[in-house]
Amino acid sequence: MINTIPDTKKKFNVEDVRKDFPILKRLVNGKPLVYLDNAATSQKPQAVIAALNQYYTFDNANIHRGLYFLSELATDQYETARLKVKEFINALSASEIIFVRGATEAINLVASTLCRAKFFNSGDEVIITHMEHHANIVPWQLITDRKQIKLKVIPINDAGEVDLDAYQSLITEKTKLVSVLHISNTLGTINPVKKIIEIAHSKGIPVLVDGAQSVPHLKVDVQELDADFYVFSGHKVFGPTGVGVLYGKTEFLEMMPPYQGGGSMIRTVTFEKTTFDDLPGKFEAGTPNIAGAIGLGAAIDYMNQFDRNELTDYENTLLIYATEKLLGVEGLKIIGNAKDKASVISFVIDGIHPYDIGTIIDTDGIAIRTGHHCTQPIMDRFKIPATSRASFSFYNTKEEIDKLVMGLIKVKKMFA
Ligand code: 7TS
């Protein structure tokens, strides 16, 4: 049968896509850049750069205050960006989308304001996994200092997968919140967050999902997941730095007090008492990152041109190809072999420190991250000081993976 529904999505083609990212044309140390550190931050398409340029060149004004043309234009663009985020993650309402600095600030906001809302009592428990980024460990420790809350950790197996049985047995009547990452920035593991949420909800426990690494790789639907909070950073999804998103269900955001006080978040102020704005204004004190939000909106438009599943499938082919090629390097071991994995590969090579690997291949223009990736507990779990990590985006190619492998062979020869 002929499909009569017009296909409005642009067909994905890596060579075309690469032309959209100006930085990919640059040389590093005289060699074409091979950028394989997408888990740290993604590169920006021209459309995002143009949106920032347009805003600062022609449209700049402060928002939510001026009754003049430019202020209304800037306000409209900022609020349109919020609507784009709402659609992008399928939130129920735009007022559930709070613009923050990034995933880190979003988690700190939730931890701090839940604590001030007296959501936790002394002895209450927060469950996280062993593979969290420090951004989903330290904010809970900061409030546990104040409230004597206990942090409980779901163990992971040798492949880097969470142990769901152990998770269930960690839940007690003291468990107040589960806070887990969706995709591990170090191991690449895609966690079964839907299942994790179902289990928590069956006991009436809300769940925060750290989506910093999932939003760049997967189509996320917060209503389908039924996440109570979902956080991510703009700069990892092809948007600017300094802007990110806290999604929260209205019932929680309403219950939480403001994170910061100042302009924009109030309704009335006297020296005796202040009343606060409705959502989302209540959580956006001061002048926000207007350009950042508009740039994030442009990044979402960019991604929306494509069928996201096509991008994910392409990244999967890179993951499979890179895994096979890297395992061909003698003495190389991959840390993180989950069945369900995104295009992030951490590895160690016998007898060679990751810092040496990173520094040497940089001379050939190849950018990977080396270190503990802000996940020191994972390093302890696998009894290693650090890993090298290659993380791929949809603009990477098999040729770039070949260059990485050739670079590693060169490193091995130098250390032989
Ligand atoms: N959560 C996860 C899972 C992350 O990977 C990161 C950043 C964060 C939170 C914090 O994001 P931010 O934008 O607020 O800093 N991860 C990395 C990384 O893997 N390399 O550099 C930053």
> In this structure, are residues 372 and 386 in contact, taking their beta carbons and an 8 Å threshold?
yes
Alpha carbon nearest to ligand 1 atom 15, residue: 104
| Spacing, Cα 5 to ligand 1 middle (Å) | 39
pLDDT of 8: 87
Alpha carbon nearest to ligand 1 atom 16, residue: 40
3-state secondary structure of 359: helix
| Spacing, Cα 308 to ligand 1 middle (Å) | 22
CA distances from 227 to 54, 91, 238, 298 (A): 35, 10, 23, 25
* Residues in a beta bridge with 153: 128
Q: Tokens 């969470």 sit at which residue?
A: 162
3-state secondary structure of 206: coil
**Closest C-alpha to 151, from 339, 295, 103, 134:** 134
Q: Which atom of ligand 1 is nearest to the CA of 235?
A: 13
Stated pTM of the model = 0.97
| Spacing, Cα 302 to ligand 1 middle (Å) | 22
Q: Which atom of ligand 1 is nearest to the CA of 37?
A: 20
Residues near ligand 1 with C-beta < 6 Å? 39-40, 102-104, 133, 135, 181, 185, 210, 212-213, 233, 369, 373-374
| Beta strands 332-335; 274-276: pairing state | unpaired
Alpha carbon nearest to ligand 1 atom 4, residue: 212
> In this structure, are residues 317 and 371 in contact, taking their beta carbons and an 8 Å threshold?
no
Q: Check 40, 171, 329, 374 and give the catalytic one.
A: 374
Structural domains of the chain ordered from first start:
14-38+307-415 (3.90.1150.10), 50-304 (3.40.640.10)
Q: Tokens 């939003």 sit at which residue?
A: 215
Structure tokens given for 246: 């806290």
374 among known catalytic residues:
yes
| Spacing, Cα 40 to ligand 1 middle (Å) | 6
Q: Choose one of 137, 374, 391 to mutate for the ligand 1 pocket test, by most ligand atoms within 8 angstroms of C-beta.
A: 374
pLDDT of 66: 80
* Residues in a beta bridge with 190: 183
Alpha carbon nearest to ligand 1 atom 21, residue: 40
What is the rounded CA–CA span in Å between residue 373 and residue 131?
11
The DSSP output letter for 32 is: E
Q: Exposed, middle or buried: residue 221 (CB in 10 Å: 0-12, 13-18, 19+)?
A: middle
The size of the chain, in residues, is: 416
What is the rounded CA–CA span in Å between residue 237 and residue 224?
21
> In this structure, are residues 346 and 337 in contact, taking their beta carbons and an 8 Å threshold?
no
> In this structure, are residues 212 and 181 in contact, taking their beta carbons and an 8 Å threshold?
yes
| Spacing, Cα 410 to ligand 1 middle (Å) | 30
pLDDT of 6: 53
Residue type, 26: R
Residue type, 189: T
Structure tokens given for 79: 């609020």
CA distances from 26 to 19, 189, 336 (A): 12, 31, 32
Residue 86 main-chain phi, psi, to 5 deg: -55, -45
Structure tokens given for 195: 């299942």
Q: Which atom of ligand 1 is nearest to the CA of 389?
A: 19
Q: What is the pLDDT along the chain (416 residues), one digit of tens a residue?
A: 444 555 689 999 999 999 999 999 999 999 999 999 999 999 999 999 999 999 999 999 999 988 999 999 999 999 999 999 999 999 999 999 999 999 999 999 999 999 999 999 999 999 999 999 999 999 999 998 677 899 999 999 999 999 999 999 999 999 999 999 999 999 999 999 999 999 999 999 999 999 999 999 999 999 999 999 999 999 999 999 999 999 999 999 999 999 999 999 999 999 999 999 999 999 999 999 999 999 999 999 999 999 999 999 999 999 999 999 999 999 999 999 999 999 999 999 999 999 999 999 999 999 999 999 999 999 999 999 999 999 999 999 999 999 999 999 999 999 98
CA distances from 140 to 75, 92, 232 (A): 34, 27, 17
| Spacing, Cα 138 to ligand 1 middle (Å) | 13
